[in-house]
């Protein structure tokens, strides 16, 4: 950890916060606080410099225009690249996930991405909207992914990125795999407050950030009820 408190940055909420993306920041902060880990959170607007010394970075979903603008500003700024190279953890959602790759499509044009995940995205023939469920890469040791997806993109992984999950309901990247991970970067199409249904992913980000193998258990009674309900609703 770079300072005494765990530092969490929410990237460009003015551009990429289409639907409840703030939830991930709130959930991470709460689950850290429950373990007695002091937390500082920062919402960094697109007209502000991106700090490179935080521990966890969150980036959310958005429409085509803001997505392309966010990618351009992050490339020009360079702070996020430095942070990742220094070992920061990242959760990238939906449009934010796409722009971590080499390229993505926005407003009919191919746009350069950050190149921090070995993948590229293009347009699918149909929009993927609905419940999403998948079995997460066993190397991460997490229970199944549950989410709600709403995107028109399809994402193709290169050899440098691992699928986050095998899809058991919904579309994800391409109907087969969903999301990606490499190093301490996680990307997913599970949109909005993805961590609400996936507290184990929140805890993984916290463990990566503080370098711990495990964290104290917290009362997840309601979260487990929600997960059971949504995993059943997704079928498959």
Helix (H) or strand (E) holding 188: strand 185-188
Least Cα distance to 94 among 205, 221, 194 occurs for 194
Q: Does the annotation mark 191 as catalytic?
A: yes
Helix (H) or strand (E) holding 133: strand 119-136
| Site membership for other proteins, residue 130 (CB under 8 A) | yes
Helix (H) or strand (E) holding 71: helix 64-77
Annotated catalytic residue, options 81, 94, 111, 151:
94
Q: Which is nearer to other proteins, 15 or 84 (CB)?
A: 15
What are the phi and psi torsion angles at 99 (to 5°)? -75, -5
Q: Which is nearer to other proteins, 82 or 226 (CB)?
A: 226
**Residue 211, C-beta contacts closer than 8 angstroms, at least 6 positions apart:** 1
166 annotated ligand-binding residue: no
Length of the chain: 236
Residue of 50, 187, 192, 204 interacting with other proteins (CB under 8 A): 192
Annotated catalytic residue, options 111, 120, 151, 191:
191
Q: CA 42 to CA 151: how far, in whole Å?
A: 27
Residue 13 and residue 60 in contact, taking contact as beta carbons nearer than 8 Å: yes
Which among 21-29, 77-85, 102-110, 205-213 is the span making contact with other proteins, rule CB under 8 A?
Answer: 21-29
Site for other proteins in 55-114 (CB under 8 A): 63, 66, 69
Residue 64 and residue 71 in contact, taking contact as beta carbons nearer than 8 Å: no
How many residues bind other proteins (CB under 8 A)? The answer is 31
| Site membership for other proteins, residue 132 (CB under 8 A) | no
| Site membership for other proteins, residue 22 (CB under 8 A) | yes
Residue 51 and residue 79 in contact, taking contact as beta carbons nearer than 8 Å: yes
| Site membership for other proteins, residue 145 (CB under 8 A) | no
Closest CB 232 distance from other proteins, rounded Å:
12
| Site membership for other proteins, residue 14 (CB under 8 A) | yes
Residue of 4, 47, 125, 213 interacting with other proteins (CB under 8 A): 47
Q: Does the annotation mark 111 as catalytic?
A: no
| Site membership for other proteins, residue 134 (CB under 8 A) | no
Sign of CA dihedral 79, 153, 162, 189: positive
Q: State the DSSP code for 213.
A: S
Query: Residue numbers of the site for other proteins (CB under 8 A)?
Result: 14-15, 17-23, 26-27, 30, 45, 47, 63, 66, 69, 129-130, 148, 150, 191-193, 196-197, 222-223, 225-226, 229
Catalytic residue numbers, as ranges: 94, 191
């Amino acid at each position: 950890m770079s300072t005494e408190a765990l530092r969490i940055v929410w990237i460009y909420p003015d551009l990429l916060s289409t639907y409840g993306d703030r939830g991930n920041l709130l959930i991470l902060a709460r689950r850290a606080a429950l373990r007695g880990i002091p937390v500082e959170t920062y919402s960094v607007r697109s007209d502000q410099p991106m700090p490179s010394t935080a521990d966890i970075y969150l980036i959310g979903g958005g429409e085509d225009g803001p997505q392309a603008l966010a990618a351009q500003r992050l490339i020009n700024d360079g702070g996020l690249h430095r942070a990742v190279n220094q070992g920061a953890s990242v959760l990238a959602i939906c449009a934010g996930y796409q722009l971590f790759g080499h390229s993505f499509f926005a407003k009919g044009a191919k746009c350069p991405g950050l190149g921090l995940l070995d993948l590229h995205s293009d347009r699918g023939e149909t929009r993927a909207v609905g419940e999403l469920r998948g079995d997460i890469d066993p190397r991460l040791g997490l229970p199944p992914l549950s989410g709600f997806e709403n995107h028109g993109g399809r994402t193709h992984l290169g050899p440098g990125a691992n699928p986050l999950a095998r899809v058991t309901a919904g579309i994800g990247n391409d109907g087969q795999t969903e999301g990606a991970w490499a190093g301490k970067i996680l990307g997913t199409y599970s949109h909005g407050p993805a961590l609400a249904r996936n507290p184990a992913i929140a805890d993984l980000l916290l463990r990566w950030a503080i370098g711990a193998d495990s964290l104290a258990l917290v009362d997840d009674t309601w979260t487990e009820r929600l997960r059971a309900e949504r995993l059943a609703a997704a079928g498959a």
